Homo-oligomer: A and B are copies of this chain.
């Protein structure tokens, strides 16, 4: 299984259609399962795509419009009924805790596992999560109510060592840490052995930026510069630009402009208005600005490693 893989569970905007579910995505990074937004029926989608949802320990909710969180209560409830006892972390705007608590109260339910709410602040960029392999930061967006995107970054991975070369050059254990991090080695006789001889090539660390929902905003560009994969909402085509502005959403062209200016490797479009049964106009509009654009659809899996290898 890939170590950095995104699965699209839903990519509709506010009103779902018969073929498109509201927003939810699963990002798998180094064995961690991150759920990003949780629109209605996310638990059904997780089942459909055979994702073991008890492996999800961290849920990131961008904002409190229903199409981004209405599936959460059902998912929490199923986790409980199916025997979860381990902790769950929810990164979300303040208020989601009240929404959950009120529903637990009226159903007379006490969950068998602890939930830790960590509220993000749409006013400043913050580090929400960090462990030895991954970090997650907020991306400041511009929407009708407080809303954050999320930037997932793998940490730099230590190089793997070339055991044979280490023996040949009599490298002591004390030098290994430096070599893993890219140092050359000076042998006893003063010869410099280049790092490339002693260690295998650096394994790239990947990154994914999730931007939903937002109107076009220049400030997003610097926040997502250089990521491998950018998901950017594209609710409308340019024809509906006025409506996009009024509702604090983006057009496909605007999403592509962010991708182009931020020099990302690939752009994924989503959060389509229910008015589009045929999504090709959105794709054409984006590709005219940023050719490496793709349409999200339910069940799409993007292996970011492979993507990056293709791009190099």
Contacts and interface: CB of A to CB of B under 8 A. Distances in A.
A14 B47 contact: no
A145 B110 CA distance: 14
Interface stretch (A99-107, A227-235, A238-246, A285-293): A99-107
A188 interface: no
A43 interface: yes
Contacts of A71: 40
A81 interface: yes
Please give the count of copies of this chain that the complex contains.
2
Given A41-B44, A47-B18, A144 B81 contact: no
Contacts of A43: 16, 40
Interface string A124-144: 000000000000000000001
Contact of A40 (B41, B95, B105): B41
A70 B74 contact: yes
A43 B47 CA distance: 19
A64 interface: yes
A305 to B, nearest CB: 28
A73 B40 CA distance: 9
A126 to B, nearest CB: 20
Interface string A179-219: 00000000000000000000000000000000000000000
Interface residues of A, number: 38
Given A14-B81, A102-B98, A40 B107 contact: no
Contacts of A16: 43-44, 47, 74, 78
Which of A17, A66, A95 gathers the greatest number of chain B CB atoms within 10 Å?
A66
A65 interface: yes
A96 interface: yes
B64 A107 contact: yes
Contacts of A40: 40-41, 43-44, 70-71, 74
A77 interface: yes
Interface string A50-85: 000000000000001111001101100110011000
A108 interface: yes
A97 to B, nearest CB: 10
A145 B103 CA distance: 13
Interface in A12-66: 14-18, 21-22, 40-41, 43-44, 47-48, 64-66
A66 B107 contact: yes
Contacts of A108: 144-145
Contacts of A93: 106
Interface of A: 14-18, 21-22, 40-41, 43-44, 47-48, 64-67, 70-71, 73-74, 77-78, 81-82, 93, 95-96, 98-99, 102-103, 105-108, 144-145
Given A16-B78, A70-B73, 18 more contacts: A14-B78, A14-B81, A15-B77, A15-B81, A16-B47, A16-B74, A18-B44, A18-B47, A18-B48, A40-B41, A40-B43, A40-B44, A41-B44, A64-B103, A67-B74, A93-B106, A96-B106, A108-B145
